[in-house]
Chain A
């Protein structure tokens, strides 16, 4: 007889172990599509490892790729903790990037110490604004935020396209739909010479630490968690549920906006509509792998970035489609979901022929 029973509380070992096991399992499962594509599996994994740890450059590339994922992972984490389903980080990222190029491409001049904070604030505000709309429609009209944020992603991307063919178009861009370059004084500096890794990573790590402190130590974090666990009870306890949801929405949007600023001002230097290969959506996977913990987000982002960078290198070397990376990421999400179930429940197997005593069934 097989019975499933809830555990008292998932042990610490399981809460840490399950995401790691899920990530590894997803990587192992990649062997199936790899062998189907006709690749030598051992060689493929070797190429992937080389793409991540093969050189200082490879490693910094991985960190560069992890930077936007930390921001969007944090954005998803804070929203999901309040059971606010912000699936719109992709759009908010683009809004942040657009604000950065709107402010940082020349009409304001000043030293980096002035310009960099300015584009960061502008980007965060734009991202926050992008999530304020759906949060308002949810709290005021009861419109499901999943649907509104998902649809807004499309609206925002088309809007960016319009801006890049209109007011934000680079007059020197040879007709390409791209923005003017961000001025030198607004560029996030590189951390190491000749590497693309930039100070966006430092800002992202700082954001993770602040998010951790706010979530676990502040009154706001307490309210946020209370609303997420049981909104009705939180309301009964006198917590302003709508206000808390709105604040979570604004901060979540702001973090996604910062991802856009960091990509534009740290990496690309100008805005195009292919700035993000779905960092907003991947942030959801990062957040779930992290068990919705801000510090865990950093580790999860490093893993996902490794998958992307490793798979890129491998696919170039061996001619396997780089969609393999997306496949591994989605499998990691499904694995960690199932893992979360295993952490909360325990499966008890008792021999079928043995009569189950009454005390045993009483416990279930």
Chain B
């Protein structure tokens, strides 16, 4: 009975969408990178960098959109390093990505600690507020779920549509897909494999950083060490679950958000009998299960993880 009550409540679905928002940015970012043939395990660190950079910019006086722009720029910077290492240099995408995660995380932490040497309570900023669109937000159910989210959730949903449109309706999208499937063919057409791949990694990384920025600029109003907490890795699992399709990526992130919102509410119901850690573990276990279910059927971009060098067949 109570379970049904939870699933029917509008606050539950509003929370699900809120939890899904950073993941939508992250999954889209990972999708853009991997579609071009390059795995970006820098995502976890780029999340941290985006969270720190966006927050810091606003704290130093930029407005919220300025902060988001700076976060995206920071993500693009770390993406560029990954792009140089993995595309023209053709180095191990696994190790380079982990290196970017370590580098971006430590740069962010060091910067935060150096700028704010001794703070007992982390300073706060004025984060994005729920939009509360007049009339629309008065619609029963949908009003609360959709029209009381912050502008960042709308930005995430807009990006899903944009990415879908670019990949399915434009020549650029066609080239970006082809470069992850058959780079030789792209090269034969006279397009730059290096350019397309590096551009995709930089753009995807900027998108990931927005996911991080959501944490400090919309979900919370301050930066904490370890606040990313594996969200980046979950996105890497979700993108496989989504078979590299933007629509399915949105669905995967929403399902994940719904599950996470559900376990928090279930915890208050049965928390007395089950240790709280069981609920904390659940999202990670769910990600692994989702991965195992789809692993064999997943349509990997055919050239994923394979470096390509000009003039070598």
Chain A positions within 8 Å of B296 at CB level: 141-142
Q: Please choose the segment from B21-29, B203-211, B212-220, B231-239 that sits at the chain A interface, where 4 or more of its residues have CB less than 8 A away.
A: B231-239
Chain A positions within 8 Å of B98 at CB level: 87, 281, 284, 333
* A324 close to B110 (CB less than 8 A): yes
Which of A36, A142, A281, A323 has most B Cβ within 10 Å? A323
Min CB gap A26→B, angstroms: 11
* B95 close to A284 (CB less than 8 A): yes
The verdict on B280 contacting chain A, using a C-beta distance below 8 Å, is: yes
Query: Nearest chain-A residue to B45 (Cβ)?
Result: A330
The verdict on B139 contacting chain A, using a C-beta distance below 8 Å, is: no
In the complex, which range does the number of interface residues on chain A fall in? 35 or more
The verdict on B292 contacting chain A, using a C-beta distance below 8 Å, is: yes
Query: Given A144-B240, A146-B41, A288-B95, does the pair A155, B110 have CB atoms closer than 8 Å?
Result: no
Min CB gap A297→B, angstroms: 15
* A333 close to B99 (CB less than 8 A): yes
Chain A positions within 8 Å of B229 at CB level: 154
A85-B96 Cα distance, complex, nearest whole Å: 13
A176-B113 Cα distance, complex, nearest whole Å: 28
Chain B positions within 8 Å of A143 at CB level: 288, 291-292, 295
The verdict on A195 contacting chain B, using a C-beta distance below 8 Å, is: no
A166-B274 Cα distance, complex, nearest whole Å: 12
A145-169: which residues lie under 8 A (CB-CB) from chain B?
146-148, 150-155, 158-159, 161-162, 165-166
Query: Given A151-B287, A162-B277, A340-B91, does the pair A141, B106 have CB atoms closer than 8 Å?
Result: no
Chain A positions within 8 Å of B15 at CB level: none
Query: Given A158-B281, A285-B102, A330-B99, does the pair A338, B292 have CB atoms closer than 8 Å?
Result: no
The verdict on B81 contacting chain A, using a C-beta distance below 8 Å, is: yes
* B103 close to A334 (CB less than 8 A): yes
A161-B295 Cα distance, complex, nearest whole Å: 30
B105-142: which residues lie under 8 A (CB-CB) from chain A?
105-107, 109-110, 113-114, 117
Query: Given A151-B288, A326-B102, does the pair A158, B230 have CB atoms closer than 8 Å?
Result: no
Q: Which of B85, B96, B284 contacts A155 (CB 8 A)?
A: B284
For the complex, would chain A's binding face be called helix, strand, loop or mixed by DSSP majority? helix
The verdict on B311 contacting chain A, using a C-beta distance below 8 Å, is: yes
Chain A positions within 8 Å of B277 at CB level: 158-159, 161-162, 165
Chain B positions within 8 Å of A333 at CB level: 95, 98-99, 102-103
Min CB gap A214→B, angstroms: 23
Chain A positions within 8 Å of B94 at CB level: 85, 146
A36-B114 Cα distance, complex, nearest whole Å: 9
A137-B81 Cα distance, complex, nearest whole Å: 32
A66-B141 Cα distance, complex, nearest whole Å: 57
Q: Which of B91, B114, B234, B295 contacts A142 (CB 8 A)?
A: B295
Query: Nearest chain-B residue to A342 (Cβ)?
Result: B89
A84-B110 Cα distance, complex, nearest whole Å: 32
The verdict on A129 contacting chain B, using a C-beta distance below 8 Å, is: no
A286-344: which residues lie under 8 A (CB-CB) from chain B?
288, 319-321, 323-324, 326-327, 329-331, 333-334, 337-338, 340-341
The verdict on A28 contacting chain B, using a C-beta distance below 8 Å, is: no
Chain A positions within 8 Å of B284 at CB level: 151-152, 154-155, 158
Chain B positions within 8 Å of A154 at CB level: 229-230, 233, 281, 284
Interface 0/1 of A272-285, CB less than 8 Å to B: 00000000010011
Min CB gap B143→A, angstroms: 35
* B295 close to A323 (CB less than 8 A): no
Chain B positions within 8 Å of A321 at CB level: 109-110, 113-114, 117
A252-B113 Cα distance, complex, nearest whole Å: 35
A137-B294 Cα distance, complex, nearest whole Å: 12
A338-B99 Cα distance, complex, nearest whole Å: 12
A285-B177 Cα distance, complex, nearest whole Å: 33
* A323 close to B91 (CB less than 8 A): no
Chain B positions within 8 Å of A106 at CB level: none
Min CB gap B246→A, angstroms: 20
The verdict on B4 contacting chain A, using a C-beta distance below 8 Å, is: no
Min CB gap B96→A, angstroms: 6
A323-B112 Cα distance, complex, nearest whole Å: 10
The verdict on B92 contacting chain A, using a C-beta distance below 8 Å, is: yes
A320-B114 Cα distance, complex, nearest whole Å: 7
* B233 close to A151 (CB less than 8 A): yes
* A162 close to B110 (CB less than 8 A): no
A298-B273 Cα distance, complex, nearest whole Å: 47
The verdict on B278 contacting chain A, using a C-beta distance below 8 Å, is: yes
The verdict on B188 contacting chain A, using a C-beta distance below 8 Å, is: no
Min CB gap A231→B, angstroms: 13
Query: Given A151-B288, A323-B110, does the pair A162, B278 have CB atoms closer than 8 Å?
Result: yes
The verdict on A33 contacting chain B, using a C-beta distance below 8 Å, is: yes
* B106 close to A327 (CB less than 8 A): yes
A142-B285 Cα distance, complex, nearest whole Å: 17
The verdict on A356 contacting chain B, using a C-beta distance below 8 Å, is: no
Min CB gap A75→B, angstroms: 15
* A327 close to B110 (CB less than 8 A): yes
The verdict on A363 contacting chain B, using a C-beta distance below 8 Å, is: no
Chain B positions within 8 Å of A284 at CB level: 95, 98
The verdict on A364 contacting chain B, using a C-beta distance below 8 Å, is: yes
A320-B115 Cα distance, complex, nearest whole Å: 11
Min CB gap A5→B, angstroms: 11
A323-B230 Cα distance, complex, nearest whole Å: 20
What are 29 A-B contacts defined by CB distance under 8 Å? A33-B110, A36-B114, A85-B94, A141-B295, A143-B291, A144-B295, A146-B236, A147-B236, A147-B237, A155-B281, A155-B284, A158-B280, A158-B281, A165-B277, A281-B102, A284-B95, A285-B99, A321-B109, A321-B110, A321-B114, A321-B117, A324-B110, A326-B109, A326-B110, A327-B103, A330-B99, A334-B96, A337-B99, A340-B91
Residues of chain B touching chain A, judged by Cβ–Cβ distance below 8 Å, are 41, 81, 85, 89-92, 94-96, 98-100, 102-103, 105-107, 109-110, 113-114, 117, 229-230, 233-234, 236-237, 240, 275, 277-278, 280-281, 284-285, 287-288, 291-292, 295-296, 311
Seed contacts A144-B295, A341-B89; 10 additional CB < 8 Å A-B pairs: A137-B288, A141-B295, A146-B94, A151-B237, A151-B287, A153-B230, A158-B277, A333-B102, A337-B99, A338-B91
